[in-house]
Amino acid sequence: MGHSRIQELDDIKSSLVLIMLVFHSASGLTRHAETLAPICSALFFIHYAFLMVTGLLCGIHYGAEAQTDARQVKRRLWSRGAKLLGLFLGINLLFYGVRILPFVKLQQALAQEGGLLQLVWAPAGSLVAFEILYFIALFLLLVPFLIPWARDWMLFIIGFGLMFWNHSTLTFCLSWAVLG
């Protein structure tokens, strides 16, 4: 790839990881949930920030390269997206297997009309862990189709369109990555 590191982006990513740790620590302390609710609310942007940085990094690292070696870029993005999706599924299967996540709630959600589709379009944090990995993985799988639209502000318009359409958690989260 031959890209040099951009210190400012490394600083942003490091800061996001620290903010994520604070967010998850605050949201995990159920005894103090009422007291910590304002902190969790203020830090909820962290989900969208990770998606936006992912979009930004895809543009920086793959935008120009896609013009010269589109097949290689597609393969790399699909591979990374598939690995992340596999990690997301594996962790969740493990969590259900060791009963960290409640299998009964998943069964109930899937038994509802359109339950599987709902789980795909808007995976609830009470049913899955690390759902941000799911959204990032789907974005990475989608990027090869979006790169040709990156010219002439078209991708920016698509991102805002998805955000305001806000049909589901999936489209809303993907819009943040597209805007990045």
What is the structure's pLDDT at 171?
Answer: 81
DSSP string, 119-170: HHHS--TTT-S-HHHHHHHHHHHHHHHHGGGGGGGHHHHHHHHHHHH--SHH
User: Confidence band (pLDDT; 50, 70, 90) for 84?
Assistant: very high
pLDDT tens-digit series, residues 108-137: 887 888 777 777 777 777 788 888 889 999
CB 60 within 8 A of CB 3: yes
When pLDDT is averaged across residues 83-99 and rounded to a whole number, the result is 90
Read off the pLDDT of residues 37-69 as tens digits, 9 standing for 90 and up.
788 788 888 888 999 999 888 888 777 666 667
